[in-house]
Amino acid sequence: MNTVKIDNRIPKIQNKLFEQAHTHPLELKTVAIAMSKQGIKGEKLYSHPGMLPLPVPICEYLLSFSARQMSILSATFFANLYKYVANSEYQSLISNMSVAEKVFAAYSDEFMILHQETNEEMDHIWSFRTVYSMVCREIGIQSSFDEPGFFYGSVGAIPQSDFESFDTRFTFDEDLNETLLNLQKGKSFLKKIVEQTQQRGRNFTYRTLRFMIGDAMRMLPAEKVQENGLGSLTLLYRYMANVELKKSEAYLFDSPEKFDYEPLAFELNQGHLTDEARHYTTSFDLGVELYRAAPQEAQDFIRYFMQLIVEDYISASFTTYLEKLDLTVQGIMLTDIRIGLNSLSMSLHHPDLADKQVDINQLVHSWRQLSSKWRNIIGYIEQKSWQYKSQQLERLIKELGLELNTSKLGNRYERYKDALAIKEIQKVVEVA
């Protein structure tokens, strides 16, 4: 079987991280079951207040929440955030299996690390779904666990119309069949796929990407997966998802000495954070390794899509909260705004928030009427998040030699560079 030989340095790092992560039992199911039995606990918090994608510090309505009400709001946010993570991991699960099967030899590393990531992702998905079900039960609502994850185009800001047309079920139509036929013909036809996506717009591009790193890899013979560089594209795209995930999880329970966090939620977060450290290394180091081993045509193909993904990510990420609200009102969706508003909307169904009923659209309108000085303000947690994201993106940009379209990104690119240069995190800052 024609498989890719990887540098021995990477399995050694992976083995060390694997042993370190599994020093203590890592399965999250037991924690999720305990959270389900316990329900939403008292007045404890399920996230740092600064992580809530709502303008808590500048909104009188949100500031008036009691400790119990804030606990419920943070629990719904916790559940919705991990619902998004679980749906993103579900796509990774399909891709992980294909990369492991098509690119690497079976039993090629000591602990079969890449091959068994699938089992671990299933544990995560099961556990996050259990917690989400518990929160819905406590609130007294029924809500689907299905939603577009990171790989469904929500890497950046997406039009509301695109969001509403997303379908997480697999469908194989004429467009995807054409993409598959081009991939079967090999590296000489990769340019055709790029041209096709350039002509059809953003929704089509991310739909094609999702297909190529998932079901197309599953249907293609191993030699075509390698010739087209799909293993590298998959892992580097997953690296972008890992950057977003790690950023969110790392600061979800920031400054534990200052807040009364719910212990089981904290434990679930820390367990997943530790486990994902290995996946993070897998996606970047192995993704770059496979990129170097790919034919020139495939490298060009990988760089094209990764540049697009990075630019979309920067454009959406280095945007302040009130700027994101402006986009929302214009029919442009951003994942964190959507999760924040969904969490508030769900919380209002809880009997303990009976005195907090509000029209969400009017509330958003009132936030947009706040003094313009808040429009470019970011807080302590956002600064840390921007700094982390810029550092991780810089690794990828340098490694692939990406030349970003700085004029298209405008001040988002300047903010990215400023965040990269941050030496000291301040309480609040105003950005350009």
pLDDT tens per residue, range 4-13: 777 777 777 7
Residue 126, phi-psi category: left (phi > 0), alpha (psi -120 to 50), beta (remainder): alpha
**272 contacts: CB under 8 Å, gap ≥ 6:** 28, 124, 249
Residue 45, SS3 per DSSP: strand
**Residues 103-136: pLDDT tens digits?**
877 766 665 566 667 777 888 999 999 999 999 9
Q: DSSP alpha helices (H): ranges in 201-229?
A: 202-211, 217-219, 222-227
Q: How many CB atoms lie within 10 A of CB 372?
A: 8
Does residue 367 register a pLDDT over 80? Answer: yes
Q: What is the pLDDT of residue 408?
A: 94
Q: What is the pLDDT of residue 112?
A: 59
Does residue 2 register a pLDDT over 60? Answer: no
Q: What is the pLDDT of residue 430?
A: 82
What CA–CA distance (Å, rounded) separates 342 from 322? 17
Share of the chain above pLDDT 70, in %: 96
Stated pTM of the model: 0.92
What CA–CA distance (Å, rounded) separates 32 from 214? 28
The beta-carbon contacts of 141-144 under 8 Å, at least 24 apart in sequence, are 141/346, 141/349, 143/346
353, amino acid identity = L
Does residue 24 register a pLDDT over 90? Answer: no
Q: What is the pLDDT of residue 113?
A: 60
Share of the chain above pLDDT 90, in %: 66
**In the predicted model, what is the mean pLDDT of residues 144-163?**
85
Does residue 45 register a pLDDT over 90? Answer: yes
The C-alpha angle 23, 116, 228, rounded to 5 degrees, equals 135
